[in-house]
Structure 1
Amino acid sequence: MTSIATFGAVWTWAVILISQLRFRKSLSETERSQLAYKMPWAPYSSYLSLAFLALVIVLMAFSPDTRIALVVGPLWFVFLIAVYYNKGLHKKIKCSW
């Protein structure tokens, strides 16, 4: 159970890091200079963090106790995506405000 939670945490942090990289890449140099928080060593710190997360996943593959998470985790995401589309949640909702 812990290894499945670890897989979920790794996935979450990877998505956060990728989102942040894409967000900062979409900004102009002027917009980047006006950000309130200057990320140290950007973007290299994000790439290093992603590499560390990949290392965690690789290390999980070496242990039989944690290897199950590498099977269950992706299957869980496929299940969630199937439910998301099956329920029609992917359709945009019109806001009245």
Structure 2
Amino acid sequence: MWSLIILAQMKYRKEVDAAGQEDQLIFKMPWYPFSSYIVLIFLAFVAIVLLFRISSLLALIGSLIWIGALYAVKIHRNQQAKRAN
């Protein structure tokens, strides 16, 4: 979940920077974009550490399946919307 938050923040910030509106940001993430990448690397490290215990491994696999299913539903809905147009 935290990695998705960071990825959303990175996408948002890229759009703000492209529009030239970074002056209007009230709170800027310190050391952007390096801090975002550091957080993603840390979260990947935590996911790797979780692989060493069977109980957390099952939870990690389950969460990956859940995210994959949600993404598949999103793709399916986008395809249906394109067909309707």
Compute the TM-score of the two structures, normalised by the length of structure 1.
0.63
Q: For structure 2, which runs of at least 5 residues remain unmatched after alignment? A: none
Structure 1: runs of 5 or more not aligned: 1-11, 93-97
TM-aligned CA distance change 1:66 to 1:44, over 3 Å: same
Instruction: Provide the identity percentage.
Output: 33
Task: Give the partner amino acid of 2:49.
Answer: L
Correspondence for 2:10 among 17, 21, 24: 21
Q: CA deviation at 1:30?
A: 3.4
TM-score (norm 2): 0.70
**Which has a greater percent of helix?**
2
Over the residues paired in the alignment, what is the CA RMSD in angstroms?
Answer: 2.3
User: 1:44–1:81: structure 2 CA closer, same or farther, 3 Å change rule?
Assistant: closer
Per-residue CA distance 1:38-67 (angstroms, 9 max, x = gap) = 221111111111111101100000112211
Tell whether 2:62 aligns with 1:69: no
Label 1:42 to 1:81 Cα distance change in 2 as closer, same or farther (>3 A). closer
Higher RCO (Cα < 8 Å, 6 or more apart): 1
